[in-house]
Amino acid sequence: MLSRSVSGFAVFFVPFALVTESFAFGAPPVESPAPAAQQAAPQAAATPRAFAIDDLYSLRRVSDPQVSPDGKWIAYSVASVSLEKNASTSHVWLVSSDGSRSVQLTNHAKGETRPRWSPDGKTIAFISARDGTPQVWNIALDGGEARQVTRVSTGADNHVWCPQGEHLAFTSDVWPGLKGGDAEQKKRSEEIESSGVKAQVLDGLLYRHWSEWRRGKRSHVFVVAAEGGESHDVTPGEFDAPPFSLGGPDPVDISPDGKELAYTRGPDRAVEAWSTNSDIFVVPIGGGDAVNLTAENKGADASPVWSPDGKYIAYRSQARDGYESDKVRLAVVERATGKIVYLAADVDRSVDQLVWRPEGEAIYFIAEDAGRTSLYSVPIRGLAQPAPAAPILSGMHLTGISLPADSSFIVGEIQSLTRPVEVVRLNLAEALQGKAALLTLTHENDATYAQLQMPSVESVTYAGALGAQVQAWLLKPPGWQKDVRYPLVVFIHGGPQGAWNDGFSFRWNAALYATRGFVVLLPNPHGSTGFGQSYTEQISGDWGGACYEDLMKGVDWAVAQGLADPDHMAAMGGSFGGYMVNWILGHTDRFKALVSHAGVYNLESMYGVTEELWFPEWDLKGTPWKHDGPYEKYSPHRFAANFKTPTLVIHGELDFRVPVGEGMQLFTALQRRGIESKFLYFPDEGHWVLKPKNSKLWNETVIAWLEKFLKPAPPK
């Protein structure tokens, strides 16, 4: 798709006391205030101000909630941005499962992420680069210092506990085939660094990805004792395990008896640039012969999760090789027999995260659904009689779910287009009776939002192409007046198999633009996910067809509703959204301004420099030299003679998905045609603009460009 030796200064929470680490410079306990509902009402600001750029970087970024086995506590990460340091730092926090108390657990300057509870609930393992490279560290909740577990020069990630608490598995990118363990890995790295030669000899494709040169490395799974020691590679070989090019939930899990490890393995090296055929393998925890459980399926099989009794492994599965946006099915394989059954076939949505009930009689899963998500339950009655899925919760954007041992509730993340993630709790007994209600456990940004005016948000539908109803999000500025036509900004999402969901973005933040006096429309045209597989698949081979028509009909709808000033409209998008802006540039002059970020401009040149060849080969129906219909028909560069609209072009040098030449070609055509244009070039960014100062410059530049041509009333 066009669109991963000094202990920390930390404090700990135990059920009846707060204790600090036992070293001279330990920080004092840092405890959060009680939830907003339990506080005295704060004094309201005399005049709440409009949400502004600086507010975006002051918000605390909550993620990855993990409930303790006994259900009493939830560990989660909170990241804070420093514009002065041009960096973001994350720390681990704990909140009680009733939301009454929260406390900061770690506080090292290098930060910590991915908290994971030990099976006995007494220890949390996390990732930190406090010794220079990301490593797994353990911290006991009854006090003491954090202790380093892994010491691999290539770094560690994706760690999971063995159910007996004796081992941890993790992933690391290594040079396969080197003898001598980590010492040789470190030696190879130092030789490359000190050689003074940056040249590479390449003998295969997928040699780089997103913004990273692979240099022959492979992702492998390692096992280490929980108390630390030597790490052992249990997936040796010239392949990726997990495949580094495909995302999704955790790629590794360990059997309940602690004897086997299930993992996702990528395709063979010879075809990995144009194949998505990953498989689920199992291997003894100590290493040995691996067994492929899903060899017959030619699509992507990933994210294995063992059943509590060890009889089954549930996983996410796609049927078709090369199609990364194929429907993701819920699959279960019986470990003893290898029998595979696909569940929830009645749900025309792709499965995202899945978790077993601790008793093993059901699986819960999250699926993207019409701009939000839905939570489903699938009973397990033996593989002979697959049961239909039952919806538990819908109508909100819930992600990142986690269950305690008694499965009485689910913990997850909740967010919206105007509010970032907070941790919530869902009582399952009530939810299964249709009485679902979420209890918000964290309140990391309540104080900031008490001072802000935010836009209103509506989910709307309008008639689109091919007789379809198109869903869109509509944001109106604070103080919106019914009889006033506002300048309109249309956000176009990437993918193209993606969607604008009711979720908060720290990159493309629609609320930030609405508070500047724009009406903002975020359509989900043909190609969008979460509206049924046929709707998603329609765009393949038809990039400039129904999707473009859907977008233009959305603009027509906004004008007809009296929302938009037809003389002051703009469109902006990134990745495929940038492609569509480039397509718009050659096919209509109804917009006063355009913003194209990391947009595909020349489909033929793009094919030769992008890394994941399965994407253009599927979506554009082949290679340009064998079948060039869509490559020729839908390439924006062929319509440069029609360009008229002032355009801001944005691109990063390290973008290997849509390489920077695409933006340069577009800017050259605009300049040569004498069209007002600017090129915002980032030498240190990839497909996304991530560094805080660069991100702020991005927003400032885009807003200034839009305001120049659309002239909205200034925010009050």
257 is catalytic: no
Q: Considering just the CA atoms, what is the radius of gyration of the chain in Å? A: 26
Catalytic residue among 64, 635, 687, 695, which?
A: 687
Catalytic residue among 159, 655, 677, 695: 655
Catalytic residue among 575, 596, 635, 695: 575
Known catalytic membership, residue 550: no
Farthest CA pair distance, the chain: 74
Q: What are the DSSP E strand ranges found in 421-557?
A: 422-427, 438-440, 452-453, 456-463, 469-476, 486-492, 519-524
Would you call 687 a catalytic residue per the annotation?
yes
- Calculated CA dihedral for residues 638, 644, 648, 652, nearest 10 degrees: 10
Beta pairing class for 135-140 and 123-128: antiparallel
Q: Is residue 646 within 8 Å of 593, Cβ to Cβ?
A: yes
Alpha carbon distance 677, 150 (integer Å): 51
Q: What are residue 572's DSSP bridge partners?
A: 491, 595
Element (H, E) at 499: none
The vertex-663 CA angle with 659 and 664, nearest 5°, equals 100
Residue 595 structure tokens: 């913003």
Strands 61-67 and 17-20: unpaired
- The answer to whether 285 touches 233, Cβ cutoff 8 Å, is no
CB 655 within 8 A of CB 681: no
Strands 452-453 and 49-50, by their bridges, are: parallel
Point out which residues pair with 364 in neighbouring strands.
Answer: 355, 377
As given in the structure block, the two tokens for residue 305 are 């999760």
Structure tokens at 396: 């909100």
Spell out a b/e string for 337-367, using b for 16 or more CB atoms within 10 Å of the CB, else e. Answer: eeebbebbeebebbbbbbbbbeebebbbbbb
Contact at 8 Å (CB) between 491 and 446?
no
Length of the chain: 716
Q: What residues act catalytically?
A: 575, 655, 687
